[in-house]
């Protein structure tokens, strides 16, 4: 990293932000100097600025009127973010889509005072831009030295106090930028960990989202635990620490969850087109359904949050109900065996509560509930159909049970990918049962993505069923439609006439009810 910093330092005088150049020229015509601050300078020195789409600037007050005039001249949208603090946002919009964003704030005191008030030394850097001279680096807190040393320190100890969200940002920056939190800084954060409880839930949510978007979320979760912040931001996960599990699990609930999160992060990154190292047997399945999987997981659940992004969150909450549902059994050999009956339903409830508290959208909460509540079903199907293919009826019931109005008919696909990450973290053996499990996952994906011809359109609705069989409204109608749907999915009936005949036989008791007879 130090070599990159040195190389970029030598390029400071030629600093350019081509996407923002016209805007900067217009600003400098109004006011000089203008200072580029914070993460923009840090990322430039680290060589991370190639795809820069946002710019942070400060300049002498007043700001708002000058920013408005420049926005009008350059064709950008103008928003007064904070009139009291003199902060404006300019947004370039093309074809109705936001392209670039520039925040401009008035200096808090002089430049040195402004920079010293920032969170970390690596963010207390500025590039001074003027009309006549080349850009000049301003470093009042030895931020460049810390970048060279790969070290993350607060600009001053007291800078952690005004905004406790900076404690979470320390964890994010450490892993995002590959920096080290020295022992002194870690102790400063521990002493202030409880202050996280005073931060708005929306800001906690946003920081957690960025942290869980990192390549290895388990390391960040472990650091949150080490720094004493985990009980304040994710108490459900903190409660899983040292909760023992029985074979085939080889880790306690907490360590298992972290491993599932890392597995889910790898799958997420692969689904988003990144080059990552998946286990060969998993990769074979993912590549077989690559187009369908990537299209499904690219779906936006809420603004900027895709199904793929949510996989790590599903992993985070999938077993949080285990501490409260654990029971003990003594085997014939005198060994203790732990059971967690119903933990998936409690985990879904706990996820709903936490995600609602964090102010995620209702659709995001419902998706997480559906995936977490359903995550044991593929494991049970694998066990029930050991040594044989999963029946189409059971595959149909699986996708029906995991579908929800807001979550989509193929939410079962999200469940299956979570289950791969879960099973991958359960034990260390890669034996025949592991390969059989992946075979069942492949069968269920095939059912979801490649239904038999003629099985996707409903053959009958309730009104036609009532009229044809002279039935009164009631629960029997729904039961018959469910049975017809299963038989259709299995390829046993393909027309409305066959569906009516099938329903009549069910009413007469001449047709076995597979929903009871087949394992699930």
Per-residue pLDDT tens digits for 186-202:
999 999 999 999 999 99
What's the mean pLDDT in 274-282? 96
Q: What is the pLDDT of residues 243-269, one digit of tens each?
A: 999 999 999 999 999 999 999 999 999
Rounded Cα distance between 193 and 167, Å, is: 7
User: How far, in Å, are 281, 382, 437 from residue 389 at the CA level?
Assistant: 18, 9, 11
HEC string of 38-67? CHHHHHHHCCCCCCCCEEEEEECCCCHHHH
Rounded Cα distance between 312 and 216, Å, is: 10
Rounded Cα distance between 402 and 292, Å, is: 18
Residue 472: the pLDDT is: 82
Residue 516: the pLDDT is: 35
CB 317 within 8 Å of CB 368: yes
Residue 104: the pLDDT is: 96
Residue 419: the pLDDT is: 98
Give the pair of three-digit tokens for residue 437.
Answer: 């499990």
CB count within 10 Å of CB 195 equals: 18
Residue 452: the pLDDT is: 61
Residue 513: the pLDDT is: 55
Residue 323: the pLDDT is: 98
HEC string of 93-111? EECCEEEEEEEEEECCCCH
Q: What is the pLDDT of residues 76-131, one digit of tens each?
A: 999 999 998 899 999 998 766 668 999 999 999 999 999 999 999 999 999 999 99
Q: What is the signed CA dihedral for 174, 180, 124, 18, rounded to 10 degrees?
A: -60
Q: What are phi and psi of 248, to 5 degrees?
A: -85, 0
Confidence category of residue 278, pLDDT binned at 50, 70, 90: very high
Average pLDDT, the chain: 91
Q: Which residues pair with residue 139 across a beta bridge?
A: 125
Considering the domain 163-233 in this protein, what is its CATH number?
1.10.110.30
Rounded Cα distance between 166 and 100, Å, is: 25
Please state the separation of Cα 60 from the chain's center in Å.
39
Q: What is the pLDDT of residues 475-514, one digit of tens each?
A: 888 888 888 877 877 778 888 888 788 888 888 776 655 4
CB count within 10 Å of CB 260 equals: 29
Instruction: Answer whether residue 518 shows pLDDT above 60.
Output: no
What's the mean pLDDT in 381-395? 94
Q: What is the pLDDT of residues 13-52, one digit of tens each?
A: 888 888 899 999 999 998 899 999 989 999 999 999 877 8
Residue 363: the pLDDT is: 95
Instruction: Answer whether residue 517 shows pLDDT above 60.
Output: no
Give the pair of three-digit tokens for residue 367.
Answer: 């998706």
Rounded Cα distance between 318 and 369, Å, is: 9
Helix/strand/coil percent split, the chain, to 5: 55, 10, 30
Give the pair of three-digit tokens for residue 464.
Answer: 């036609």
Q: Helix, strand or coil for residue 392?
A: helix
Instruction: Answer whether residue 519 shows pLDDT above 60.
Output: no
Give the pair of three-digit tokens for residue 276.
Answer: 């990552």
Give the pair of three-digit tokens for residue 382.
Answer: 């694998």
Rounded Cα distance between 417 and 275, Å, is: 18
Q: Which of 268, 237, 317 is nearest to 417 (CA)?
A: 268
CB 102 within 8 Å of CB 54: yes
CB count within 10 Å of CB 458 equals: 11
Residue 495: the pLDDT is: 82
Q: Which of 252-266, 395-409, 425-439 has the lowest mean pLDDT?
A: 395-409
Q: Which of 278, 256, 281, 287 is nearest to 432 (CA)?
A: 281
Residue 465: the pLDDT is: 81
Residue 508: Cβ-neighbour burial (10 angstroms; 0-12, 13-18, 19+): exposed
Q: Which of 493, 517, 490, 458 is nearest to 393 (CA)?
A: 490
What's the mean pLDDT in 310-330? 97
Superfamily of domain 2-152: Beta Polymerase, domain 2 (3.30.460.10)
Domain definitions of the chain by residue range: 2-152, 163-233, 242-449, 462-517
What is the helix (H) or strand (E) element at residue 352, kind and residue range? helix 343-357
Q: Which of 133-147, 349-363, 501-515 has the lowest mean pLDDT?
A: 501-515
Q: Which of 51-55, 131-135, 150-154, 492-496 has the lowest mean pLDDT?
A: 492-496
Rounded Cα distance between 72 and 315, Å, is: 47
Q: What is the pLDDT of residues 161-179, one digit of tens each?
A: 999 999 999 999 999 999 9
Residue 100: the pLDDT is: 92
Q: Which of 56-60, 231-235, 491-495 has the lowest mean pLDDT?
A: 491-495
Give the pair of three-digit tokens for residue 348.
Answer: 């879904």
CB 26 within 8 Å of CB 68: no
CB 125 within 8 Å of CB 41: yes
CB 350 within 8 Å of CB 317: yes
Please state the separation of Cα 352 from the chain's center in Å.
15
Residue 154: the pLDDT is: 95
Residue 496: the pLDDT is: 82
Rounded Cα distance between 212 and 369, Å, is: 18
Rounded Cα distance between 424 and 262, Å, is: 11
Residue 512: Cβ-neighbour burial (10 angstroms; 0-12, 13-18, 19+): exposed
In the block, tokens 């931020």 appear at 143
């Amino acid at each position: 990293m130090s070599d990159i910093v040195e190389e970029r330092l030598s390029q400071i005088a030629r600093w350019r932000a081509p996407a923002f150049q016209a805007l900067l020229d217009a600003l400098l015509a109004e006011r000089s100097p203008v200072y580029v601050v914070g993460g923009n300078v840090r990322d430039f020195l680290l060589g991370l600025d190639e795809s820069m789409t946002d710019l942070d600037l400060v300049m002498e007050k007043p700001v708002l009127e000058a920013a408005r005039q420049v926005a009008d001249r350059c064709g950008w949208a103008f928003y007064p973010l904070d009139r009291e603090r003199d902060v404006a946002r300019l947004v370039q919009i093309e074809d109705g889509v936001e392209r670039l964003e520039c925040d401009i704030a008035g200096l808090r005191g002089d430049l040195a005072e402004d920079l010293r008030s920032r969170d970390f030394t690596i963010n207390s850097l500025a590039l001074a831009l003027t009309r006549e001279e080349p850009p000049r680096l301003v470093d009042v807190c030895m931020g460049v030295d810390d970048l060279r040393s790969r070290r993350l320190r607060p600009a001053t100890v007291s800078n952690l106090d005004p905004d406790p969200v900076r404690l979470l940002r320390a964890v994010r920056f450490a892993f995002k930028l590959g920096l080290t939190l020295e022992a002194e800084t870690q102790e400063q954060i521990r002493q202030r960990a409880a202050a996280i409880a005073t931060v708005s839930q929306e800001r906690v949510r946003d920081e957690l989202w960025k942290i869980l978007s990192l390549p290895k979320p388990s390391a960040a979760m472990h650091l949150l635990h080490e720094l004493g912040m985990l009980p304040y931001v994710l108490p459900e996960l903190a409660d899983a620490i040292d909760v023992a599990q029985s074979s085939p699990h080889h880790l306690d609930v907490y360590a298992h969850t972290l491993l599932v999160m890392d597995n889910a992060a790898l799958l997420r990154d692969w689904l988003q087109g990144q080059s990552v190292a998946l286990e060969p047997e998993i990769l074979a399945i993912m590549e077989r359904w690559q187009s369908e999987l990537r299209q499904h997981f690219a779906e936006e659940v809420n603004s900027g949050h895709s199904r793929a992004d949510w996989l790590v969150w599903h992993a985070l909450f999938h077993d949080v109900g285990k501490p409260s549902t654990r029971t003990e059994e003594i085997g014939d050999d005198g060994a203790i065996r732990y059971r967690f009956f119903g933990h998936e339903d409690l985990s879904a409830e706990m996820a709903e509560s936490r995600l609602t508290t964090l102010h995620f959208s209702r659709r995001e909460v419902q998706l997480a509930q559906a995936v977490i509540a359903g995550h044991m079903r593929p494991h049970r199907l694998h066990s029930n159909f050991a040594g044989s293919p999963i029946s189409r009826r059971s595959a149909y019931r699986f996708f029906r049970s995991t579908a929800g109005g807001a979550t989509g008919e193929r939410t079962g696909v999200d469940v299956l990918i979570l289950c791969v990450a879960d099973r991958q973290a359960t034990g260390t053996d890669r034996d025949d049962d592991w390969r059989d499990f992946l075979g069942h996952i492949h069968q269920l994906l095939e059912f979801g993505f490649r239904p038999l011809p003629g099985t996707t359109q409903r053959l009958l609705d309730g009104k036609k069923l009532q009229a044809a069989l002279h039935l009164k409204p009631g629960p029997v109608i729904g039961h018959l439609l469910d049975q017809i749907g299963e038989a259709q999915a299995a390829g046993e009936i393909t027309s409305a006439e066959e569906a009516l005949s099938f329903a009549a036989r069910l009413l007469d008791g001449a047709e076995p009810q597979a929903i009871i007879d087949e394992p699930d």
